[in-house]
Each structure stands twice: as structure tokens, then as C-alpha cells.
Amino acid sequence: MKITFWGVRGSIASPGRNTVRYGGNTTCIEIRTDNNDLIILDAGTGIFPLSQTLLGTPGVTANVLISHSHWDHIQGLPFFAPNFVAGNIMRLHGAFDPMSGKGIEQVVAVQLQYSYFPVRESEMKARFEYVTLVPEQRLQIGSATVTPCLMNHPVIDLGYRIEADGKSVFFTGDHEPPHNIYEPSHEGYAEYQAFVDERAETIRSAMAGVDVLIADCSYTEPEYRAKIGWGHGTFNSSIGYARQAGAKVLFCTHHEPTRSDDALDAVFAQVLRDNPRRPGDPDYRLAREGETYEF
């Protein structure tokens, strides 16, 4: 299995001299199985440079797994170059949105209105297909088995476990570890805690035994205290997940857009000091745009 990072920033694209080393594009990750099946995790601005590498490939079938519909995870879709080539297939997977009552097809329908983009779906040459997913319900994409998992974010958000050829990876999308929204003295605390515990166990089970964990590490612990409920994790929470899962490698991603590369290095160095590796712990890495990891 081969993983290539095309976008690792969170919330908004942040190009410039201060983000050159780790990259300024928003979330997009390419997965290739040993059979060369193409799976794309999210369609942030990073999907545009990915798409340029596919232009000489005939009959592209792009299986895009959308974690959720916030802009930084979908805004590159209209600019995915294979959409403009006959014979290609854009197969978009994602969750049902209870607020709109629609499936993942709404993501494209909204973006490709003339008010926002000059080319409508019907005018593109590729064929669009839509797959609305159900959490915990497996699906097959070529040689890969994909299992979506409901994560914790202010909108319906799916993480994905991908297994192929005896290898596995889990991508959290944007995720904040479930927490109790009530004070212990509140009458609803115990009931809600049971829900939190159930969700937390489901997520831990979905990650268990993966080779690679790609996780939302937006904040440090001090930063998180002011942003509880925003739907993002910390370096420490993701290290905890990776240790519990027995992952071999943790890739920290969704880098804070206001954090320069130098600041990101400094923060990560402190995180490693605060979380010294123990025997059997994962290898901790910062996701870097353009980096490929093969295992």
C-alpha cells in the first residue's frame, strides 16, 4: 500500500514562504493498493496537484471518500482535472446529511452552480457516481475493503479504515475525542456519559491494529482549552489513539493554518518531549505535502 499526502493543512489553504516545507494545501490524501486501485481521502485544495499527475492516464476511476462537507475538505472537487476527460469516472462516497435530507451528491450540486463555478456537472465529460455510506457498513473498492466510522465533529463526519493485501490505514478526518457536554452535577451527565463511552469504544475498535493512523492533530493541549467543541483533536489525543491501536506509524495532519513550518517543528519537538516513545510505541511523524509512505 502506498500513501501520498497532497494536502495537510486544516481550515483554509495557507500558501506562502512560511508553509513551504509542510505545504499549504488543505486535506487530500492518495491511497494506492498493491493492485493500483486509486482511493482519495478528501478533496481539499490538495486534490488539484494530485489531479495533474493523472492527466496522462486513460480511463481514470477516482474513488473519493469524503470525511465531511466543510469547505476545506471539498473545495478542490471542481478543479479535479480528470472530470473534464471523457471515459473517466468520479465516484464520490460520503455520508447522508440529516440537515438537508440529501446524500453526498449535494456536495457537487451546490459547488457546480453557475453562481460558484462556470462549468456544471452535466457539462463535464467524466461520469459522476455517488455512493451514500452507512457507518460500520463495509464496501469493496477494487482490492480494498473500506469501513466508514462515525467520528466527532460539528457535522456528520466519517473516518475510514482501509484494508488491502494484509495492510491497513485509518484516517480520522476532522475529529475531536468524544467528551461529556454536561457538568457532573447535571441530571443528564450519566446518560450522556454512556453515549460518550459507547462512541469512544466504537472509534477505538475501528482503529485497532492498523499499520498507519492519519489523525487530526490541530492543537496543542493549551490551545485546545479555548477550542473545546470545535471538532478537532490534539497531538496528545492522537498519540493516545495510536498507542491504543498498536499502530506502527502516526501521521499528524490538519496542521493549524496560522502555524508556520518553523512553529510546527517547534510544537512537534515539544510534543515528542512530552510523550517520549516507549518500547512498542508508534513512529510519530508530521504529515508533509508531497511525501509518499509505502509499506
Instruction: Please tell me the predicted confidence (pLDDT) of residue 101.
Output: 87
- CA distance to 61, 80, 182, per residue, from 58 (Å): 9, 15, 54
**Do the beta carbons of residue 173 and residue 68 sit within 8 Å?**
yes
Domain ranges in the chain are 2-294
Q: 100 pLDDT band (50/70/90 cuts)?
A: confident
Q: Quick one: average pLDDT of 113-117?
A: 92
Q: 97 pLDDT band (50/70/90 cuts)?
A: confident
Question: Which residues touch 55 (CB under 8 Å, ≥6 apart)?
Answer: 81, 82, 85
- CA distance to 11, 102, 113, per residue, from 109 (Å): 22, 11, 7
Cα angle for residues 113, 15, 20 (degrees, 5° grid): 145
Each residue of 218-268: pLDDT tens digit? Answer: 999 999 999 999 999 999 999 999 999 999 999 999 999 999 999 999 999
Task: Tell whether the model's pLDDT for residue 188 goes beyond 90.
Answer: yes
Each residue of 59-89: pLDDT tens digit? Answer: 999 999 999 999 999 999 999 999 999 999 9
CATH dotted code for 2-294: 3.60.15.10
Q: What percent of the chain has pLDDT over 90?
A: 97
pTM over 0.85: yes
Burial class from Cβ neighbours inside 10 Å (0-12, 13-18, 19+) for residue 64 reads: buried
Q: 164 pLDDT band (50/70/90 cuts)?
A: very high
* Cα gap 274→30, rounded to integer Å: 31
Question: Which residues touch 88 (CB under 8 Å, ≥6 apart)?
Answer: 59, 60, 61, 62, 82, 125, 126, 127
Each residue of 120-154: pLDDT tens digit? Answer: 999 999 999 999 999 999 999 999 999 999 999 99
* Cα gap 292→80, rounded to integer Å: 20
**Do the beta carbons of residue 44 and residue 7 sit within 8 Å?**
yes
E strands of 68-143, at which residues?
89-95, 127-133, 139-141
Instruction: Please tell me the predicted confidence (pLDDT) of residue 11.
Output: 96
* Cα gap 268→236, rounded to integer Å: 10
Question: Which residues touch 77 (CB under 8 Å, ≥6 apart)?
Answer: 43, 47, 64, 92, 107, 108, 111
Which residue type, as a one-letter code, is found at position 21? R
Instruction: Please tell me the predicted confidence (pLDDT) of residue 98.
Output: 85
**Average pLDDT value over all residues in the chain:** 96
Which backbone phi and psi does 28 adopt, to 5 degrees?
Answer: -165, 125
